[in-house]
Amino acid sequence: AVVSTQSTGGEEVHVPFNQLVPMVHPNDIEVDGWDISGMNLAESMERARVLDYSLQKQLRPYMEKIVPRASIYCPDFIAANQEARADNILSGSKQNMMTRIREDIRDFKEKKNLDKVIVLWTANTERFADIRPGLNTTAEELLNSINNDEEEVSPSTIFAVASILEGCTYINGSPQNTFVPGVVELAEMEGVYIAGDDFKSGQTKFKSVLVDFLVGAGIKPVSIVSYNHLGNNDGKNLSAPSQFRSKEISKSNVVDDMVNSNKILYADGKKPDHCVVIKYVPYVQDSKRAMDEYISEIFMNGSNTIVCHNTCEDSLLASPLILDLVILAELCERITIQLDGEPQPRRFTSILSLLSYLLKAPLVPAGTPVINALFKQRAS
């Protein structure tokens, strides 16, 4: 990304962001992780069929050396169609599995002689977990629930807790409610950063720009229908109703702040009809199709309809976001702020809402408004 710094001779000067502040170079990032599938990354790359065959051949010597660590598999949280992949899983209680994840983080850091570790959830979308007193509304409840092997504690939440206890920033790249209140409280207690939810790469990013433009121009969107079909494993998992519901929520809430910003257009408080559909079509593989229809009310009871079609490589849009999130999160770990009159510098709050620009359903501190409009996010 570039930043406009000043005007010289009537022209703006744009400078790469990494020339203004010290940032980690992507080549200095070591990669490790967990997967319920035991395939090495070369085999996974071949199965996914995202990269060109010639590029796969060049990458294979590097990728085949990376073998995922055993991961947590709780069949109730992801689609039943994922069972065939689950050949690399941890056993024992949830407390035992969390301990193993913590050991893996320490092992990775020690063997690679790393300064720090940042953990991202890039795995399957889970169903929403229950939130209830005694289960996960406080850090103490959540830690007790893990210790008691409560079924309603999701794998992504266990990873989050393990990361926080190891002092590692944790970023949730999927739409489920990983950050139950107990996780947020634990992060605040430990002074560790968390960020989420759900990578914002294609259709939703476009929507956050278009709807912001329409509402700002005095055009009133009244119906938004978004249809997707894709054939990768993400689409396969989302074909299950509970997992699709998690994604539907993160995609549907993206226009709320834009609608709420114009009380003239939406004086009655009624939001646009907003429907999201995702279908699994194996043939198209990672080449996701996104079709959107925006119907708006205009002058003198007229109507305006915009129809968009977007074909994109789903994984290739999301992968750069992973690098950006890691690099920006690491930068945030080094930033401190000290206002006039304050005795000492302080860090950001534990919830890194600064990263919302790259995420569909921004996690924000309590009492903070959620902003989805893309340019407002960038400006903030």
CB 97, CB 89: distance < 8 Å: no
For the sheet containing 118-121, what is the strand order? 118-121, 169-172, 194-196
Which residue has 């994840």 as its token pair? Answer: 101
Catalytic residue among 35, 288, 292, 314: 288
Catalytic residue among 247, 251, 286, 314: 247
Active-site residue 116, yes or no?
A: no
3-state secondary structure of 178: coil
Catalytic residue among 94, 207, 236, 360: 360
Active-site residue 288, yes or no?
A: yes
Catalytic residue among 35, 198, 234, 257: 198
Scored b (16 or more CB within 10 A) or e, 132-159 reads eeebbebbebbbebbeeebebbbbbbbb
CB 105, CB 117: distance < 8 Å: yes
Active-site residue 251, yes or no?
A: no
Active-site residue 360, yes or no?
A: yes
Query: By C-alpha distance, which of 49, 81, 126 is closest to 315?
Result: 49
Continuous segment of H or E residues that includes residue 48: helix 41-48
CB 37, CB 69: distance < 8 Å: no
List Cα–Cα distances, 210 to 73, 196, 293, 340, 367, in angstroms. 39, 22, 11, 40, 27
Write out the catalytic residue numbers.
198, 247, 288, 360
